[in-house]
Amino acid sequence: MMKSIPNLNPNGWDEMFSNEGVRESYRQVLQTLQNLNHDNLNDKHRQASDFFMNQGITFTVYSDDNQGIERIFPFDIIPRIITQSDWNEVESGIKQRLKALNLFLEDIYNEQHIIKDGIIPGALIASCPHYIQEVHGIKVPHNIHVHIAGIDLIRGAKGEFYVLEDNLRCPSGVSYMLENREITKRIFPEMLTSNHVSMVSNYPMIFHNILVSLSPRSISNPNVVLLTPGVYNSAYYEHTFLARQMGIPLVEGRDLVVNNNKVYMKTTSGLHQVDVIYRRLDDEYLDPLVFKPDSTLGVPGLISAYRQGNVALVNAVGNGVADDKAVYAYVPDMIKYYMNEEPILKNVPTYRMENLDEREMVFANMENMVIKETNQSGGYGMIMGNKATQQELEDAKIAIVDNPRNFIAQPIIQLSTVPCLIDGELKLRHVDLRPYALCGPNGVKIVPGGLTRVALTEGSLVVNSSQGGGSKDTWIVK
């Protein structure tokens, strides 16, 4: 096993090592790892892979002969550790941010004071493809629009946290947070105990309580369901996992019907009214009568029932306007405007390409910038200036000039690194962190942990699973 410190990036932050050696929070973990030989580590790695494969936590890759091969999302067995004091900052920063984002959504779909007061340009909102005019004026239970959020965080060169992205529509990955912990319990039980790692397994209970509290009907046992696009969706495992953990039915659009502005599910003993829908379906697929008419994934009439207040949707419809990458730049202003507070967590500096000065500055420094399409996610529609060819950069410039609203630019930030077990050795790889925040009538709750996504290719800063990323268990240690 590794006896020396891997080569550290002098311009970056490593979570396990500083220039002086191993950080205190990682001391025990490193010691345990150093006491294991190659075979031990490979056995644990294999055990983790088998666990994911047997659980069906897989995605399908199709070969030339159209034979599907199931693959797991890579899991690195070495945990990522965050100290309690760092976590406290993350937790309070996310709570503050989510309160502001909820206030923004309530405002933007009602009176729009933030536009009238000149804080955010009206044109920016009007041009946002995820601003849903059809839900303007709809009252949502307890004025909560974002019930579950995945906030992507990165750490800068000095270990400071930045918010990279807000995911306020259908954030995925929470099952990995929970399953990663389950596998760690099996492969490193003694390490978990001795490090006093905070529990994450109560997430489904907290979430279920919030879902029940949103029921429009005042009944003791409201009917809460999870709406999935179906078995071919890449996140289907997560949908089944959460439905099972919360003990709620997993429904598809074809299982639901709207009658007299009420939503019912088709059961073996007839129709039964549905009160709350945790939907894992994007806005545009929810209701073919309002959005995509050719989609069969949703439920005709659902938005009408929602408008009447007969069913609660989680998350609310239209949240995409708040996690648009161009609107992201205004979140610190929202915090100041709605809460009269300074943001606890910083944004990554973001340049709007509609602004000519900012655009020129970006064009002059393309190799130091990451260019992102504002309506894309999952690592798609992104150009890393330091990796792109000259031709790709020129093409990007043309596309930006053609439709500047569609792009933002950010300086390339060296994400922090964490050692990963690669080919039997510890090697540094870049990571981000997605904690999951839950908002209910009693405030915001964040389970101490999150999904650490890791870019497994050496030097890569792209952590998305769709781009070859993996994940790690994330420990908050006291």
Q: In the complex, what is the shortest distance from the CB of residue 93 to other proteins, in angstroms, rounded to a whole number?
A: 35
Burial class (CB in 10 A: 0-12, 13-18, 19+), 186: exposed
- Identify the bridge partners of residue 59 per DSSP, sorted by sequence position: 71
Long-range contacts of 286-292 (CB under 8 A, 24+ apart): 286/313, 286/317, 290/134
CA–CA–CA angle 57, 319, 369 (5° rounding): 80
**CB of residue 332 vs other proteins: minimum separation in angstroms?**
41
Shortest Cβ distance from residue 117 to other proteins (Å)?
46
| Closer CB to other proteins, 250 or 463, in the complex | 250
Q: Is 70 in the site for other proteins (CB under 8 A)?
A: yes
User: Quick one: which segment of 113-121, 266-274, 426-434, 437-445 binds other proteins (CB under 8 A)?
Assistant: 266-274
Which tokens belong to 4? 């020396």
**At 193, phi and psi to the nearest 5?**
-65, -45
| CA contacts within 13 A on the Cβ side of 108 | 32
**Complex with other proteins: residue 55 or 201, whichever CB lies closer:** 55
Q: What gap in Å lies between CA 382 and CA 361, rounded to an integer? A: 19
CB of 221 to other proteins, least distance (A): 8
Is-contact 94 435, C-beta < 8 A?
A: yes
- 219 forms part of the interface with other proteins (CB under 8 A): no
CB of 239 to other proteins, least distance (A): 9
Of 68 and 378, the one with the shorter C-beta distance to other proteins is 68
In the bound state with other proteins, the residue whose beta carbon lies nearer, of 267 and 466, is: 267
Contact mark string toward other proteins, 3..42, x via CB under 8 A:
----------------------------------------
Q: Specify the pairing of strand 250-251 against strand 224-227.
A: parallel
Site for other proteins in 271-310 (CB under 8 A): 272
Nearer to other proteins, 59 or 236 (CB): 236
Q: Which is nearer to other proteins, 53 or 219 (CB)?
A: 53
How far apart are CB 249 and other proteins at their closest, in Å?
Answer: 6
Q: Does 224 bind other proteins (CB under 8 A)?
A: no
Type of residue numbered 134: E
- Compute the C-alpha angle 169/171/174, nearest 5°: 155
Q: Name which of residues 147 to 166 contact other proteins (CB under 8 A).
A: none
* Binding-site string for other proteins from residue 235 to residue 264, where x marks contact by CB under 8 A and - marks none: -x---x--xx---xxxxx-xx---------
Say how far apart CA 352 and CA 154 lie, in whole Å.
Answer: 21
Q: Give the nearest distance from C-beta 167 to other proteins in angstroms.
A: 24
Q: Dihedral through CA 438, CA 444, CA 449, CA 454, nearest 10?
A: 60
The two structure tokens encoding residue 446: 């964040």
In the complex with other proteins, which residue's Cβ is closer, 70 or 360? 70
Contacts (CB under 8 A) with other proteins, residues 40-69: 53-56, 67, 69
Task: Give the residue, chosen from 123, 205, 219, 231, that forms a contact with other proteins under the rule CB under 8 A.
Answer: 231
Token pair for residue 381? 């529609």
Distance CA 96, CA 341 (A): 9
Q: How far is the CB of 257 from other proteins (least distance, A)?
A: 9
Question: How many angstroms separate the CA atoms of 366 and 394, rounded?
Answer: 10
Q: Site for other proteins (CB under 8 A): which residue of 31, 143, 202, 267?
A: 267
For 431, the 3-state DSSP assignment is: strand
Which CB sits closer to other proteins, 68 or 441? 68
Identify the CA nearest to 237 among candidates 47, 414, 57, 93. 57
- If residue 77 lies in a helix (H) or strand (E), which one and from where to where? strand 75-83
**Residue 209 touches other proteins, criterion: CB under 8 A:** no
**Minimum CB distance to other proteins smaller for 72 or for 437:** 72
φ, ψ dihedrals at 246, nearest 5°: -95, -10
Residue 308: CB partners within 8 Å, gap ≥ 6? 261
Based on the shown chain and the rule CB under 8 A, indicate whether residue 421 belongs to the binding site for other proteins: no
Binding footprint of other proteins on the chain (CB under 8 A)? 53-56, 67, 69-70, 221, 226, 231, 236, 240, 243-244, 248-252, 254-255, 265-269, 272
